[in-house]
A and B are shown apart, each in its own frame.
Chain A
Amino acid sequence: MLEFILNQLYFDNILLFIFSTILILSALAIITVQNSIYSVLFLVLNFVTAAGLLFLLECEFLSLLFIVVYVGAIAVLFLFVVMMLDVKILESPKDLFKYVPAGSFIGGIFLIEISLVIGGTFNNNPYNHTKIGSQLSNQRSNLYCKLDFFTDIEVLGQILYSYYIVQFLVAGFILLLAVIGAVVLTMNNNSQNTKKQIFFKQISRNYKTVLLT
C-alpha cells in the first residue's frame, strides 16, 4: 500500500495536485470575489493552471490553445470590457447565499444523473487488474512518444491540412462571417454619434476613482 502511494507521488503527480488545488481555489475565487477586476484576474489564473494541467497530460496543443485563446484573447478582452464599463463594486454579501439551495439542488440532481450514467458505462478498466494501476498507461504512452516522436501540433497540422481540408475552409468561412457580422452590426454610418475620446475627461481621471483600488 505504501509502495503504491509512493508510486503515485511522482513529480508529475505532485505538480498535478498543486495545479488542481490552484484551479479549484481560483475557480471558487472567481465567483466569490466582489471586485470584478480581481474576478477576471482569477479567471486568467484559472485558465493558466488549466493549461498547466493539460501540459501534464501531454496535450501540448490544447494547453497552448488555452494560453493563446482563453488567456490571450478572451480573458484580456474581458478585462478591457470590465475596465471600460466602469462597474461599481456591489456590496451585497446577503445575496450571496440566496441562490445556493435551489442551485445546489438542481445541480446535485444533474450531477447524480450524469455520474450514475458514466459510472454504469465504464464498468471494467482494462488497466485496473494490474498492480501498478494507472501508471501503466502513462509509461506506455511515454515509450510511444520516444519511438515515434511527433508533437501534437505537428500531427494535428498534418491531419488538418490534408484530410480535413473542407472542414478547415468552413471554419475559415465561419470566422469571415463573424467578422462581417460584427462590422455590419456595430458600424455606425452617421458620424455624429461616433464615440470619441474626450481628453479632458480622460486626463482628469484619478487613480482613486477607478475601480482597481
Chain B
Amino acid sequence: MTNLILLKNVVILPELFLGLSIVYLLLYGSIISTTKTYPLIQKLILNISVLVLFCCIFLLYNDQVFFIQKSLVFFNDTIICDYLAFFSKTVIASFSLVCFLMINFYLKDQKINQFEYLIVILIAILGFFLLCSSNDLITAYLAIELQSLAFYVMAAFKKNSSFSVEAGLKYFVLGSFSSALLLFGFSLIYGLLGTLNFEDFKSLWYMQLPGNFGDCELLIKSSFFDQALLKLALVLVLVSLFFKLAVAPLHVWSPDVYENSPTSSTIFFAVVSKLGVLVLIIRMFQHSFHGFIYTWNYYVVGLAVLSVILGSFTAIEQRKLKSLLAYSSVSHVGYLLISFSTGTLEGLQSLYAYIFIYMLAGLCIWSIFLMLRSKTFYSKKHNKDLTDFTLLVRSNNVVSFCFAVVLLSVAGFPPLIGFITKMGIFMSAIESSMYFVAVVSVLTSVVSTFYYIRIIKIIYFEKALVGNLFHPLSFIEPFVVIVTFILFSFLFINPTLLYLVSYKISLLGFM
C-alpha cells in the first residue's frame, strides 16, 4: 500500500486523459465563446471531442496490462483492469465517436449552439468508462451518478422546447429515485458485510456456490446473520439497475424520454447507455454474488419475459419511430436478461454477442434516422412519424436498402447476424432447461417482427404518389451506415470473430 500513486499504477490513463481534456475543453470553450464577437464553436469542439475519443481508444489499446495477468486491480482495489473492462470501454468509446460524427448536422439544424452540450456528453462517456472498470460499490455508485446526471442535462438541453424540458424533468425525478434505491441497497450490503469490494464479496460468498452442500453450508447457516437482509439489498440493487436499463415494469420513463428529448441525446441513450450498466450488473451478480443465483434468478427471468412480451406488443401501437425504437429496446433488454439469468458461461457469451450486435444495429438505425433531414418540413421539425419515410426507396435507394437490412437483422432474419445472436440467446435458455421461457420468447419474437417489417413496407411498398424530399448527404454519414451494413452481412458469413471476443470476455469476466 506504500506505492499508492505510482506511474505504473496509472491504468486509468484513458479516463485521466478524458477528464483532463474535458476540463481543458471547458476552459477553452468558455474563454473563446465569451470574446467580443461571440463565435459559434460547436463544430470545433465536436471535432476536438472526436479526436479526444480517438486518443482514448489509442490509449486503451496502448496499455493492455491484462495480458500480463488475468486481471489487475489498482487504487486500493477499487479499479479493475481486465478484458471485460477493456473491451467494453473500447466499444463505448468507438460507438460514441461515431455518434459524435452523426449529430453534427442535427445540432446545426436545431440550433443547439452551446458548446457545453458536447462537454456534458463527454462527461457521460467518462462516467461509463469508470463504470466499466469499477471494482467496488463507491466507484460504481459515483460513476452511475456521473453518467445519469449528464444524461438528465442532455435530455433537458433544448430549452426552447417544452417537450425536452419535460423529458429532462421526468428523467431526473425518476432516475434520482432509482439512484436512491441503489444507494440504499449498497449501504445495506456494506452494513452487513463490512466491505465494499467485489473481490471481497466473492471471497465471502464463494463457498455458497449452488450444489456445494456440506460443511460450508453449515458454516453459512450458523453465521451470525441470516441472508434475508442481504437478499433484500440485492433485490433493491437489481431494481435500481433494471430501472436504468428500462426493463419492463420500470420502463415507463423510456418512451417519453426517448421521444421528447433531442434526437442527438436520444442516440446516446439508446446506443451507448445500456452496455455500462450491464457490465456493472454482470460484475456484481455473475461475479461477486454468483452464490445467490437462485435468489435473483427468479426475479430476472420473470422481468425478462415480461419485458419481452410487453415490448413486443406495445410497439405495434406506436406511430412514432422514436417511441417504437424505445419499446423495441425494452424487448431487446428482455432477451439480454434471459441469457443473463441462466448464469452460465454460454449465457454470458450470447449476452455479449447480442449486446454488441444490438448496439451496432441501434447505431445504424439511429444514424439513418438522424441523417435523413427532410426538405419539406420547416427546419425545427425533425422526422418523427413512421410515415415520414414513405417511399424512401424512390429518393435514396441505397440508404433504404441498408435500413431494411438492418431492420431485418434486428428482427432476426436468417441471412444476417441478428439471427445468430438471437438464436444464441434461445439456445442458452434451452441448455439451462428454461424451455418455457425460450418458447414464449420465440413466439413473441415473431410478433415483434411485424413492426419491423411494417417499416420496410412503408419504405418500399406504400401506395403513395410522392414521398419526402431529403437534403443531400455528406460523406461521413453514409460511410458509417455502409460500414455497419457490411458488418451485418460479413459477421453472418464468419461469426468467429464475434464469438471469439465474446467468449474471451465471458471466460475472463467470470472466473
Contact = CB atoms under 8 A, between A and B. Distances in A.
Query: Are both chains from one complex?
Result: yes
Interface string A159-186: 0001111110111011011101101110
B39 to A, nearest CB: 14
Contacts, number: 87
Interface in B1-41: 1, 4-5, 12, 19, 22-23, 26
A120 B228 contact: yes
Interface residues of A toward B: which range? 20 to 34
Interface in B250-266: none
Interface in B66-84: 75-76, 78-79
A178 B226 CA distance: 40
Q: Which of A120, A164, A170 has the most CB of B within 10 A?
A: A170
Interface string B104-135: 00000000001011011001001000100000
B160 to A, nearest CB: 10
Given A164-B76, A166-B75, 6 more contacts: A121-B225, A165-B5, A166-B79, A174-B146, A181-B150, A185-B153
B157 interface: yes
A120 B226 CA distance: 7
Looking at chain A's contact residues, is the secondary structure mostly helix, strand, loop, or mixed? helix
Name the residue among A118, A171, A173, A185 with the largest chain B CB count within 10 angstroms.
A173
Interface in B279-312: none
Contacts of B216: none
27 contacts: A120-B226, A120-B228, A121-B226, A122-B224, A123-B224, A162-B4, A163-B76, A165-B75, A166-B78, A166-B139, A167-B139, A170-B130, A170-B142, A173-B123, A173-B146, A174-B146, A174-B149, A176-B26, A177-B120, A180-B123, A181-B150, A181-B152, A184-B116, A184-B120, A184-B157, A185-B159, A185-B168
A171 B119 CA distance: 17
A124 interface: yes
B229 interface: yes
B229 A173 contact: no
A166 B123 CA distance: 15
A32 B505 CA distance: 57
- Chain B at the A interface: mostly helix, strand, loop or mixed? helix
Contacts of A120: 226, 228
B393 interface: no
A117 interface: yes
A9 B150 CA distance: 51
The interface size bin for chain B is: 35 or more
B232 interface: yes
Interface in A139-173: 162-167, 169-171, 173
Given A162-B4, A164-B76, A121 B142 contact: no
Interface in B443-478: none
A167 B78 contact: yes
Interface string B170-194: 0000000000000000000000100
B142 A180 contact: no
Contacts of B224: 122-124
